[in-house]
Structure 1
Amino acid sequence: MSIRSTIAERVGRSSYWFLHHFRNGGSSLPGQLTLLIDPHILRSFSERYDLVIVTGTNGKTLTTALSTRVLRTKYEQVLTNSTGSNMEQGIVTTFITAPRPHQKGLAVLEVDEANVIKVTQFIKPAAFVFTNIFRDQMDRYGEIYTTYDKILAGVRRAPQATVIANGDEQIFHSQDLPNPVVYYGFAHEHREAFDAPANTDGLLCPKCQHILRYHLRTYAGLGDYFCPHCGFHRPKLTYAVTKLDELTPTKSTFEIDGHEYTINVGGLYNIYNALAAYAVGRQFGVSPEQIRTAFESDERVFGRQEVINVAGKEVTLILVKNPVGLNQVLNMIATDQEPFSLGFLLNANYADGIDTSWIWDGNFEQFAQADVRQYLVGGERYRDIRTRLEMAGVDKLWEEPNLGQVIQKIKELPTKRVYLLATYTAVLQLRKLLAEQKYIKGGMD
């Protein structure tokens, strides 16, 4: 390392220590300070770590967490950004605060789509993992093809890296890459050709813009697609879900390549994250048995179906940020056979996306006749989500814009089980308050 990068790393480490001892933490500022001193600091870490980059719209955090658990069954030192701080400054913080590895280590990092190029100009990864691309924060990213172009700008700097891509996502098969590519997806059923609903996200063929048809569709535009006009179709899968067994709000049991697995989170969308982690593990030589051990860990992931006990209430905290992800979460909650209360904390800061119109694509109407005992809305844009729920036919609605008071409102809810949906900054703010009140350890990394 150069003298400049050494100084930059020491300043970053010191600021991190101060923030975590006196200011309740922080994962961006140490990286910002480090980059001010040495904008090329990431190059220094290429000698210490081989890198796996996980990117895409939904599922990055859980895919990264599961991949890290899987790889730790084989590799002694695996570094990761566990709180999902996935922009350049957060990634720098992850590196500068990690213990220096005794030998070259492995880093599995969630990376924001627009920041892939900022990493790969300094570190050439061993692999990329592509989860999916949906409409998300359109004020920042634009349409899905714009988002994919941002990712590819970074991938093209590392043509030797293996791309581990969701084969059910047609955009990932739309352009030829110089990289070796392997695909994962669902193959648990095969039906006669059928059409997806007209408002499905990503329904047009990326080659000729004709409407795609399907032999299998999991959700949104994902599945075994084909174009009847130009012949474009899903690529051959290297790793596949071959059976679905049990799906509940708290657990999913399924088979991948004939091996049975269970993860302690609900939702079909989370099986994709497990499948991606399985593909990563197999590419790095981890056995199916080791992967099963990793999946059986009950460790919860920051903001992803964390279950927090608040004065006897079992509060499941779930991050939501775009219509496809929101509807998958709502579908998962709808499988609960017990009475529950449902809350939604809506912010509209830069990290959340300042456009809140995506909530209107959420299928809240399915709960109008369900056994939801109480609704609670909060956050900076609580009026927006209140109006959306009212238009869905919801009654029994409490509103509380002050997140500090939201915790008190949770205690007053009529059910033991509570699902609390929140955008990114609302998750951070709420966890900080929960930590201050000793309901969890640490509010933010």
Structure 2
Amino acid sequence: MNKLRFTFSIFIGKLAFLGLKLLKKQGTALPGKIALKIYPNILKYMGNKCDKIVIITGTNGKTTTNNLINHVLSGKYSVVSNIKGSNMIQGVVTPFIVDSAKRYDWGVFEVDEGSIPIVSQYITADYMILTNFFRDQLDRYGEVDSTVKLVKSAIKPGTTLILNGDDPLNSKFEELPNKKIYYGVLKNKLSKSELSVAEAIFCSKCGNRLEYNYLNYGNIGHYKCRECGLERPKLKYYVSSVDVESNKYKFTANSLTEKNSKFVFRYLGLYNIYNCIAAIAFSYENGLKYDYVKNKLENFDYKLGRMETIKFKTKDVILILSKNPVGLSEVLSTIGYDTNKKSVMFVLNDASADGKDISWIWDADMEQIANINTINKFYASGHRSEEVALRLKYAGFDEEKIKIYESTKENNIKNSIKNLLKDGESKSYVIGTFTAMPVARNILIKEQTKEKENYS
């Protein structure tokens, strides 16, 4: 270890972070990127500061599960975590630079699937949580089988795997020698009998079509292959019932040793129940008790565009990140459960971080919104706003309710958001892709600040 170079990399990383804060930037990745340039092995030594490490990866749910676990652990342990969603190697290094404690009980990191092999060169996870695998940014990752192989190749023998047992693609990890713990959600009032988005519906062993007793979202549910016998594994942790009351979930969680534990989670989306049971499984495996975990989950707040609510005097605006067909389908399904009159905006960008290929919106089940009569206006915005409007038209949505903000016009996102704030609806949803969400959020925060100054 070159101690001088190591120390210098941290110092310059801290300077970069302070500079970004002065510019009112988040500084979630650049400090780590600079430090890595100066000292490429920095994560190896930073990771040694953690007594234990948990990594969360998969297509959807990484940030929420990561933040839930961070929230649960922070009540009892010292924790370092990339809770702001920057999940490549530089995003894992940055929190160590920003928070310069000598030791941590836990390191909690969400890691982008494509970055797992790189991060795993430097740190070994005690636990790895695998949420799900869907097609996502095809021009970057390729087909989903390639992503699964990439993650699988990087898992070290000593890591305990906590897997979503309802995802057929997670069966590919069964042959690994690692200890495995499965979680899932049983059939409930919100379960479906038919696929809305055809993702990974063929057996990973023999290639024949899978059969489902029920589905909870996408291809996630109770599956079985009648040809080779592959089926959902036995779940150690599972949710047995889900009810929606007052725009909140009431659900019952179970383990092999503890039954009928009641929880309330105040953010809709059945995928969030999977995020919750993953966090519960991890917590119970590490000795945390029901009353403590229940209190933590029920007092959890979303931030940074993951179902975050930004409040105005006459309107609540809910921000939702969406970047693949299954995610978008479930977001629209969630909006359908909200009985309030509302407006919706979809900000679709095609920057490199979003994926240049935006054909995925045609694979999403947008037809379902044609039947949501509580949507009074739908704003199409972003770099590919016209494509959003066209998809809505083919989905059968009322064209008179669609407002298009031309992609070639300057400030099209800003102008669309300003009009959304004036549209007379007491509730609005803003759906955005990876680069669109922070732009939309910053505009909304500025407008919120202006409103507070005007009424102060």
- Common fold, TM-score beyond 0.5? yes
Hey, what does 1:159 align to over in structure 2?
157
Match runs of 1:29-428 below 5 Å: 29-49=30-50, 50-75=52-77, 77-101=78-102, 103-155=103-155, 158-175=156-173, 176-188=175-187, 196-197=194-195, 200-246=198-244, 250-257=247-254, 258-369=260-371, 370-393=373-396, 394-395=398-399, 396-400=401-405, 401=407, 402-428=412-438
Give the distance between the partners of 2:165 and 2:446, measured in 1 at CA: 43
- Tell me the distance in 1 between the aligned counterparts of 2:167 and 2:376: 37
> 5+ unaligned residues in a row in structure 1: which ranges?
441-445
Tell me the CA shift for residue 187 of structure 1: 2.6
Per the alignment, in what secondary structure is the counterpart of residue 435 of structure 2? helix
CA RMSD after TM alignment: 2.0
Residues 1:199 and 1:274: Cα distance change in structure 2 (over 3 Å): closer
Normalised by the length of structure 2, the TM-score is 0.90
Identical pairs, percent: 36
Distance verdict in 2 for CA 1:247–1:144, change over 3 Å: farther
* Contact kept in structure 1, 2:130 and 2:163, CA below 8 Å: yes
Larger CA deviation: 133-142 vs 302-311:
302-311
- Normalised by the length of structure 1, the TM-score is 0.92
Deviation at 1:392, TM superposition (A): 2.2
Are the counterparts in 1 of residues 134 and 199 from structure 2 also a CA contact under 8 Å?
Answer: yes
What residue ranges of structure 2 are gaps of 5+ in the alignment? 255-259, 451-456
State the AA in 1 paired with 2:284.
R
**Structure 2 counterpart of 1:87, which letter?**
M
More displaced stretch, 261-270 vs 212-221 = 212-221
Q: Is the 8 A contact 1:202 1:220 kept in 2?
A: no
Deviation at 1:303, TM superposition (A): 1.0
1:194-223 C-alpha deviation (Å, 9 max, x unpaired):
984496211101000111112332122111
- AA in 2 matched with 1:97: V
Which aligned segments of 4 or more residues in structure 1 are displaced greater than 6 angstroms?
Answer: none
Matched to 2:376, the amino acid is R
Give the equivalent residue in structure 2 for 1:430: 440
- Alpha-carbon shift at residue 174 of structure 1 (Å): 2.2
Counterpart CA distance in 1 for 2:225 and 2:239 is 23
Distance 1:14 1:54 in 2: 29
Structure 2 partner of 1:443: none
Contact between 2:117 and 2:154, CA under 8 Å: does it hold in 1? yes
Distance 1:403 1:196 in 2: 36
2:196/2:218 contact within 8 Å kept? no
Q: Could you tell me whether the CA contact under 8 Å between 1:318 and 1:419 is conserved in 2?
A: yes
**Aligned counterparts of 1:62 and 1:46: Cα–Cα separation in 2:** 22
Write out per-residue CA displacement over residues 212-256 of structure 1, whole angstroms, 9 at most, x where no aligned residue. Answer: 1123321221112111001111111111111112266x4211011
Q: Distance in 1 between matches of 2:15 and 2:197?
A: 51
Equivalent residues, number = 432
Kept in 2, the 8 Å contact 1:247–1:266? The answer is no
Once the two structures are TM-superposed, the CA of residue 125 in structure 1 deviates from its matched residue by 1.1
Higher mean displacement: 396-405 or 173-182: 396-405
Q: In the alignment, residue 114 of structure 1 is paired with which amino acid?
A: G
Letter in 1 for 2:422: E
**2:10 aligned with 1:9, yes or no?**
yes
Equivalent position amino acid for 1:397 in 2? I
Contact kept? 2:79, 2:104, Cα under 8 Å = no
Q: Is the 8 A contact 1:174 1:206 kept in 2?
A: yes
